[in-house]
Amino acid sequence: MLAGLDGVPRVVVSGNFATPWQVLRVLDAALAEYHLFALNAQPGIPDRTGVTLESAFVGPGMRKSDRLRYLPCRLSLVPSLLATALPPDVVVIHTSLPAGGTVSLGVEVNVLPAAIAAVRARGGLVVAQLNRHMPYTYGDAVLGEDEIDLALEVDEPLPSPWARPISDAHESIGERVAALVPDAATLQLGIGGVPDAVLGQLRGRRRLAVWSEMFSDGVLGLEQAGALDADRPITASFAFGSAELYAWLDRNPRVRMLRTEKTNDPGLISRRAAMVSVNGALQVDLFAQANAARVHGVIYSGFGGQTDFVVGALHSPGGRAIIALPSWHPKANVSTVVPRLAGPVTSFQHSYIVSEQGTAIIWGSDASNQAGQLVDRVAHPSARDELRQAGRALGFRI
């Protein structure tokens, strides 16, 4: 087996809810020491002495590990990272069963085509977990059988994320965000209470399109409601959700799964008609900057695709970049609107920032007006006086 510059091999593995667990267990038993790169790794990822965890988007399987190397990187540039600074020696993928000389990467295309190209350039290995439960999806998901060096066939249903209840705050945010989405818009949303609430409010729209790094059951709900434009494909790079969603994806010509370099390219995003990007944040500050990556200075997730889609949406004709978040963090019992972010900024210069309290119009407003709207329309009432005082100390006329 090849090895990196430090003499330790690097393994890139499918992340999210497409992790090839059985092959990963075999590999972990065979290698005493290796680097393991995955995006949004779920619980159960090997985390032991000898394994160095690597990610540009940290999931719950790596989040609290002392062995984590977080690599700040826009999702659109992770393929370049794998081709240069982090060349893989082994790529482990989770695919459909073979059909017509091909397999499909199914619900997880993401950075895997780039990883496969990088490992081929090094003479490394591509190992596949073949699974009849993996949907056969089209686009860049399709891979020739001859691209696979070793394979293990399994029979395991794909996991689904925990169902997240939609709170009253999420419902209110969903209504406010949906009011900013016109008919025939192109959507990018993630997963969670806020995106689910937004998508639920959009079922009455018509001729919507989806161009997103990922999607879940909310998009299936739009399709069933007749809200999506039948002439525009549902385009994404990965997906996860219910068993119903996975069944719907299987050999569905409406869905096109593309590699990250395409879905997250701000230039391609900007060409979508009325691109509406909806992303969450952990905090926003009075400078209208968003933190979606760190909690108390410790990495929580990473840039992800937020930076790609904020820029792409702002350059789209009629596009809008929206940050949506509750005004109060219930677990930490603190305001999510702060005077100034204490750590790195994930994104900035958005069109709107929305909470259950209201909507701040960011684009086209001067800096003091932005800050004033964030205090009066987005922040929790109990935090407004303190924020206003802090804003004045920062030089805002509020």
Q: Which two structure tokens, joined as six digits, stand for 333?
A: 């019992």
Determine phi and psi for 320, rounding to 5 degrees: -145, 135
Among 213, 223, 261, 356, the active-site one is 213
Question: What is the three-class DSSP state of 54?
Answer: strand
Tell me the torsion sign for CA atoms 62, 65, 68, 74.
positive
Neighbours of 248 (CB within 10 A): 18
Q: Is 213 a catalytic residue?
A: yes
- Helix axes 217-224 and 193-201, enclosed angle (nearest 10): 10
Closest residue by Cα to residue 106 from 242, 234, 252, 262: 252
Measured between its terminal Cα atoms, the distance across the chain in Å is 62
The answer to whether 244 touches 96, Cβ cutoff 8 Å, is: no
> Phi/psi of residue 269, each to 5°?
-60, -40
Backbone angles phi, psi at 275, to 5 degrees: -70, 120
Active site residues: 213
